[in-house]
Structure 1
Amino acid sequence: MQIGPIHIGDGKWRFTLWAPRARSVDLLLGAGPGAPERSLPMECAGRGYWIGDTEHAHPGTRYRFRLTYPDGSTVERADPASHLQLEDVHGPSTVVDHDAHTWRHDQFAPPLLAETVIYELHTGAFTEEGTFDAAAEKLNHLVDLGVNAVEIMPVAQFPGPRNWGYDGVYPFAVHPAYGGPDGLRRFVDACHGKHIAVILDVVYNHLGPEGNYLRDFGPYFTNAYTTPWGEAVNFDGPGSDGVRNYFVQNAIHWLDRYRIDGLRLDATHAIFDYRPTHILGELSKAVADLAAHRGRRFWLMAESDLNDPRLVRPREGSGLGMDAVWCDDFHHAVHALLTDERDGYYMDYGRAKDVARAMENGFVYTGQYSPFRGHGHGAPCPDIAPERFITCIQNHDQVGNRMLGERLARLVDFETLKCAAAMLLLAPQTPLLFMGEEYGEDNPFLYFISHLDGDLVQAVRNGRKEEFAHFMAHGEPPDPQSEATFADSTLNWPKATSKRGQELFAWYKALIALRRELPAAAPGETRAALLDRGGLLRLERGSALVAFYNLNDNEPYQELEPHMPPGGWRIALDSSDPRFTGAAEAAPDLQPKGVRIYTKDTPR
């Protein structure tokens, strides 16, 4: 059942609402400050759905619903499937014409996952302007880098102009601060014109607290489960059919109306469903049907901290049919090794063999005991193709959930930054870069909000202080409500043209170009070995590439030849090359935290 406003032709619009708690529903057209209002009764279509057709709506019309309950009480609410909230989360909805945009690049097809390099960005903090149009002006930078997919942090309506996006309360509405529906369409079209796919981050495990009126319509939430961020969504209790349809329709909305190429599903481990067909399986089936109907390929990428390979196994084999799954183990292994941090979940990592296992396998934990969790963690995944794991050395969570939002460039030296980049980009998994890491951005990425409710703002402030109480000897967390906190998190683009910024960019660009020349790796084909008591890491990508990483802090390696596999090899890249260091000449030895990469003498 399609929901929300739909243009059905001849100047008519159909409004469909799921509101099983209402005895009757009226559509209020023109609702808004000083605007005339027209009330149209809606017809009950069964199973909690209400439908109303009208000739009195047009693009830009404000509207609400009046719900009358069995006890005679009434409320007026915006559409849960609103496509635009011009007056923020407490105002009316606005009708949007999705047919007005003429797509210039409608034949675009995203690359294969094995060929994909993802770049995550926050629309508001990516540029000083903080809009889709401003972000589109930076696409040549990404093309030059070699990126062919961007992942946008959530853009669904949240309160105020600043937010990470995970407090959204109107999942179908594009936030007007970024440019609204038209701005998103222009951005997607511009990306496709540069051969860049677009992935949108969506949140189906909870909704934000402010402006969340869904419970007035139906049983969207459940007390049977809990999440760290708010009420769990009711995917398996009474009334859950309508809830499931709401989120399936949301996925179709983004993929079909906005030509989005893939969805990153936030925290799927907090999506609870004990019905025989899990909501993620139902979602993947619906997206597969849309792909077949449209003749397009779509991605579904599940963020999860469970190390559960069932997410990416086929539905026909009791899997959930996702195309890829987040692999936090890779980040944790590299970060703990290179920074020596051991707080929280980093206590499970920090050994060079963890990095080697992540490169080979994706998941480090595949069932063995996790000291942080206090139980066995993960499951074996020998059948999963490497490209179906999404890996990173930085992302919004791993940077922004630090008290001071320090990026890796603030935590390690320049050579170590290059070493981490080579660990990520030469491993066979699908890599994700976080905006600015390619030039060593050292502005923080902090947690920021702009809630309208003063009590909620103070609750968030107090929560951040409690979360970081054991760090507060070094100061307090920055105020998440402050506009300065958001401004501090915006990229400093002039740094990209600094000497160090250009050298690091050149290193990333060279690594991505080399990666593109490698064949996709089959499961079990990548081998990573620790040599010389763990001070030297050797990575082999089949017979196509050998890379050495000097993990020592002070000692160079003079001889790598004894550690080379048989065959003719040539140096393809060396992190000590003057292009990447500004030195007069390359170092003859493999320097501390240095990387040397070999490919076959005979070009492929």
Structure 2
Amino acid sequence: MIKATGAMLSGHNCQFTVWAPFRKSVDVEFEAADLVTTRLEKDEFGYWSKEIANIKAGVRYRFILDGQQAYPDPASKAQPDGVHSWSAVVDEHDYVWGDSRWEGIALSDLIIYELHIGTFTPSGTFESAISGLDHLVELGVNAIEIMPIAQFPGNRNWGYDGVYPYAAQDSYGGHTGLKKLVDACHQKNIAVILDVVYNHLGPEGNYLAEYGPYFTGKHSTPWGKALNFDDAYSDHVRAFFLRNALTWLNDYHIDGLRLDAVHAIIDHGAYHFLKELRQCVDELQIKNRRRYFLIAESELNDVKILEPYEKGGYGIDAQWTDDFHHAIHTLATGEDDGYYLDYGKIEHLAKAFRQGFVYDGIYSPFRKKTVGNSPRIMASNRFVVCIQNHDQTGNRMLGERIAELVSFEMLKLMAGIMLISPYVPMLFMGEEYGERHPFLYFISHGDHDLIEAVRKGRSNEFRVFKWKGQVPDPQAEETYNRSKLKWDFHQDPGQKTLFTYYQYLISLRKQGMFSAFLKRNVDTEVHESQKLLIVRSKDASPGIGILLTVFNFSKEIQHIKMPAFLERWYKICASSDERWRGKGCPGKTILQKGEELALAPESMVLYKSENS
């Protein structure tokens, strides 16, 4: 059973509960002078609780430990004055939902759009993000993935420095603003995925260790001591985070969770935290008669994360597939330093298209070890792919988006690969029109020493790459402002065309035009010296036939002969068409068997076949 902690309001009474097993006393203190500090009562597991009368939503409170220091509530649902100050009582039933007709979207049908609340709109709030939903509907997106919104220090952060997992960032609009955004999404038939962080907490305002053994010295992570998922007292730490996941799904109507860096969730117990999380979510699905997605980020390339319980897996629905991004990025940009050392060949992209993982039990030169296992048994909708995301953009020294790194023609080629691929596609905000503003790393910490440590750490991080320039100051407000989207793209002919191109490919995907690729039953033909990849479906799709697509990463026109086993090939789309501001050689509308196709530099073309 998962013990509920925090301030739970019921009418005019509020139950205050906190886990602090080693403390001799815990009192709840109120900011309001007319509310009396009250001693909580301890149970056998170290939970302190008491129901207190005459408490209203908005009342500020904090816990006094052993009659000495006062701290905010670890399970606070609102921190209106920041991470170091009073927590606020929230009425969980203060919002009237309007999404009763929402039925959700199947995982295989998702077209995800990753966004950061603070930089998606000029105002940077949940409610202002609602104004951008019509743009997403017009584009064809049917799911947004929101970067972490758990309360963090200051008002500028990617979200991975959150320290109150239950509290929606106050500067974004808090719990009510988040509910309004989710409700608006559902009414526009858009699913909502929330990025959550269960591998660490941020350094500033992190008071969990004051309450109990939330961290363990048994394991370490890039952020310090690991969260305690398998050491003494870990049952209660696990419960804290399991309940957090269920809270987002149940109380905020979130459709799925993206689990950050699950390889850093260290649990050597017999019942891994991820498996327990999936099973808790399964129970909630039965109760609410709704489907909830769990999507993992992992660098392990291990299908155990996706495999069902009966095979010893964790049952997670899908995972990000970095190999797909890296294979495309290296071919498009020519970058080969850092972890890009492991990629750069057409064969890498061919393998990624066939099965998702490039590193499936083979040696990685960059990591200097064998990485991964075979994903071939997994359905294609178990993998989420992209050509850019917050990590691959923001963790560049200058935060350049792909539109700043490659030509307009190459942008269309890359988009074509992602949207034609058999996997669940994910766009990063602004990608659909070629946003040129960078997406930089930014913070607004209050601790001077921590700020300096972050600055130094960012500089050291880029030593394995060949990037040149000055690292933007992550603490500077200008760094944050530079990362905001520009919404005037309709005034730029190239950006407007790119948006229409994305829109067209997404519409084809939603119509099932690329369905012959979905089972990954494809043949790939690699021409390494010509930087050319040909992909053909082995089976015909009803009403469409055999699909043939050619990707030309070279800067030269390439010539290929159409397969001779079918009479005619009909063009579906070509990135070099004039309608997409192409530079010619778009290929004929109809090609006969054995006829030659001339493919423009840095372009892709897709044909379907029908017998005469």
Which TM bucket (shorter chain)?
A: over 0.9
Cα deviation, residue 550, structure 1: 1.7
Cα deviation, residue 548, structure 1: 1.3
| Identity across the alignment (%) | 47
* Secondary structure in structure 2 of the residue aligned to 1:492: coil
Structure 1 distance, partners of 2:462, 2:534, is: 38
Structure 2 distance, partners of 1:143, 1:406, is: 26
Structure 2 distance, partners of 1:492, 1:284, is: 38
Sort the Cα spacing of 1:106 and 1:564 in 2 relative to 1 into closer, same or farther, 3 A. farther
Structure 1 distance, partners of 2:463, 2:526, is: 38
Equivalent residue number for residue 546 of structure 1: 548
Sort the Cα spacing of 1:346 and 1:21 in 2 relative to 1 into closer, same or farther, 3 A. same
Which deviates the most, 468-477 or 326-335?
468-477
> Aligned residues, how many?
592
* Secondary structure in structure 2 of the residue aligned to 1:569: strand
Cα deviation, residue 469, structure 1: 4.4
Equivalent residue number for residue 96 of structure 2: 102
Structure 1 distance, partners of 2:467, 2:159, is: 30
Equivalent residue number for residue 356 of structure 1: 350
Provide, for residues 25-71 of structure 1, a one-character-per-residue CA deviation record: whole Å limited to 9, x for no partner. 1122336xxx5442122122221112211122111111111111xxx
1:370 partnered with 2:364: yes
Structure 2 distance, partners of 1:155, 1:333, is: 30
* Contact preservation (8 Å) 1:383, 1:523: no
Cα deviation, residue 527, structure 1: 3.3
Equivalent residue number for residue 570 of structure 1: 570
Structure 1 distance, partners of 2:573, 2:476, is: 44
1:86 partnered with 2:80: yes
Structure 1 distance, partners of 2:462, 2:297, is: 24
Structure 1 distance, partners of 2:548, 2:359, is: 25
* Secondary structure in structure 1 of the residue aligned to 2:69: strand
* Secondary structure in structure 2 of the residue aligned to 1:74: coil
1:338 partnered with 2:332: yes
Equivalent residue number for residue 415 of structure 2: 421
Equivalent residue number for residue 12 of structure 1: 13
1:42 partnered with 2:40: yes
Structure 1 distance, partners of 2:468, 2:238, is: 45
Equivalent residue number for residue 312 of structure 2: 318
* Secondary structure in structure 2 of the residue aligned to 1:138: helix
Structure 1 distance, partners of 2:74, 2:337, is: 41
Provide, for residues 386-420 of structure 1, a one-character-per-residue CA deviation record: whole Å limited to 9, x for no partner. 11111111000001001001111111100001001
Structure 2 distance, partners of 1:473, 1:568, is: 48
Cα deviation, residue 105, structure 1: 1.0
Equivalent residue number for residue 544 of structure 2: none
Pick aligned residue for 1:485 from 474, 479, 487: 479
Cα deviation, residue 579, structure 1: 2.1
Q: TM-score, normalised by structure 2?
A: 0.93
Equivalent residue number for residue 188 of structure 2: 194
Structure 1 distance, partners of 2:347, 2:386, is: 18
Whichever residue aligns with residue 600 of structure 2, its letter is Q
Sort the Cα spacing of 1:162 and 1:357 in 2 relative to 1 into closer, same or farther, 3 A. same
Structure 1 distance, partners of 2:196, 2:435, is: 26
Equivalent residue number for residue 579 of structure 1: 579
* Secondary structure in structure 2 of the residue aligned to 1:468: helix
Cα deviation, residue 12, structure 1: 1.8
* Secondary structure in structure 2 of the residue aligned to 1:540: strand
1:133 partnered with 2:122: no
1:67 partnered with 2:65: yes
1:29 partnered with 2:21: no
Unaligned runs of 5+ in 2: 542-546, 589-597
Structure 1 distance, partners of 2:454, 2:492, is: 37
Pick aligned residue for 1:593 from 577, 602, 605: 602
* Secondary structure in structure 2 of the residue aligned to 1:66: strand
* Contact preservation (8 Å) 2:345, 2:528: no
Pick aligned residue for 2:441 from 439, 447, 453: 447
Q: TM-score, normalised by structure 1?
A: 0.94
Whichever residue aligns with residue 177 of structure 1, its letter is S
Sort the Cα spacing of 1:210 and 1:284 in 2 relative to 1 into closer, same or farther, 3 A. same
Cα deviation, residue 536, structure 1: 2.6
Equivalent residue number for residue 524 of structure 2: 528
Whichever residue aligns with residue 251 of structure 1, its letter is A
Pick aligned residue for 2:220 from 226, 245, 261: 226
* Contact preservation (8 Å) 2:409, 2:582: no
Structure 2 distance, partners of 1:300, 1:306, is: 17
Sort the Cα spacing of 1:593 and 1:522 in 2 relative to 1 into closer, same or farther, 3 A. closer
Structure 2 distance, partners of 1:92, 1:526, is: 58
1:537 partnered with 2:530: no
- Aligned counterparts, 1:112-151, within 5 A: 112-151=106-145
Structure 1 distance, partners of 2:567, 2:64, is: 75
Cα deviation, residue 99, structure 1: 0.9
Equivalent residue number for residue 54 of structure 1: 52
Cα deviation, residue 585, structure 1: 9.7
Structure 2 distance, partners of 1:338, 1:403, is: 19
- Aligned counterparts, 1:453-464, within 5 A: 453-464=447-458
After superposition, the CA RMSD in angstroms is 1.9
Which deviates the most, 107-116 or 465-474?
465-474
Structure 2 distance, partners of 1:467, 1:478, is: 13
Sort the Cα spacing of 1:341 and 1:565 in 2 relative to 1 into closer, same or farther, 3 A. farther
Sort the Cα spacing of 1:55 and 1:540 in 2 relative to 1 into closer, same or farther, 3 A. farther
Cα deviation, residue 107, structure 1: 3.2
Structure 1 distance, partners of 2:610, 2:265, is: 50
* Secondary structure in structure 1 of the residue aligned to 2:525: strand
Structure 2 distance, partners of 1:407, 1:560, is: 35
Cα deviation, residue 472, structure 1: 8.6
